Amino acid sequence: MRNRQYLMAILLMGYGLLAQQVDPGLVRLKDRLDSISGFKASLRMEVDISFVNMPVKHAYVVYEKGAPVRITSEDFVMIPKRGLDLTLNELFKYPFMTLNLGVVSLDGRKCEQIKIIPTTDDSDYSIATLWMDPESLQILKSQISTKKNGVYDIIYGYTGPGELLPSEIRVDLSVSGIKVPLRFLGKDTRIDQDKRKEQEEEKGSIIIQLTDYHISRL
């Protein structure tokens, strides 16, 4: 009995230490985003990849808590799921620990740089870094290293310091990391395959603008 009590004490102590490893500022941000039960918005997307010629795409995006983001458009639109993970559900889906690297400057704004490290193999990313404004509780940038689809750098723009969700998102990624064929960007998209082969390691960007938000909160 004494040995079992001793083992239980060690387990509870370990749990307490793990809980302390989640940054309190990130907890506040997570609570803020968790208050979103859903949102709807108009979406405008353009691609900046040298060998891709694609007209600007328009769509409508709908999110409901606990369900995947839905996109409706007259023309099928492929968007990396990281680009529209506005509530950071994918990052917070499985247990994690954090490491706060302190205050840094990003485009003239002071923010905290926080690393998120999954503590389970179930997560599809190996590590993520967030640049968070601690006053507005807004994510200004994220860098996500996935296990299968390369590294995503995502820049977030807001119309004001009080905005809950970004109005503009720029996803920078390695073109070779895109697993879905680029032709799925739409039937009117043209791919220069010769140029693509020459520049397989090229970086590209997907720029998304969101307007006419309707946000529901718990």
Full DSSP string of 38-68: EEEEEEEEEEE-TTEE---EEEEEEEETTS-
Q: What is the pLDDT of residue 165?
A: 95
Please give the single-letter amino acid code of residue 141. Answer: K
Q: Which of 46-55, 83-92, 105-114 has the lowest mean pLDDT?
A: 46-55
Tell which wins on pLDDT, 146 or 82: 146
Q: Which helix (H) or strand (E) holds 134?
A: none
The rounded distance, in Å, linking the Cα atoms of 197 and 34 is 42
Q: End-to-end CA distance of the chain: give it in Å, rounded.
A: 46
Mean pLDDT of the chain: 81
- Closest Cα partner for 176 from 204, 144, 206? 204
Q: Is the pLDDT assigned to residue 126 strictly greater than 90? A: yes
Q: Is the pLDDT assigned to residue 125 strictly greater than 50? A: yes
Cα dihedral value 25, 29, 35, 38, nearest 10: -170
Q: What is the pLDDT of residue 61?
A: 92
Tell which wins on pLDDT, 200 or 152: 152
Q: Given pLDDT bands bounded at 50, 70 and 90, which one contains residue 9?
A: very low
Q: Given pLDDT bands bounded at 50, 70 and 90, which one contains residue 66?
A: confident
Q: Residue 28 phi/psi, 5° resolution? A: -65, -40
The mean pLDDT value for 126-131 works out to 95
Instruction: Give just the sign of the alpha carbon dihedral 62, 157, 106, 133.
Output: negative
Please spell the DSSP secondary structure of 28-43, one letter per residue.
HHHHHHHTEEEEEEEE
157-180 pLDDT, tens digit per residue, is 999 888 999 999 998 877 665 554
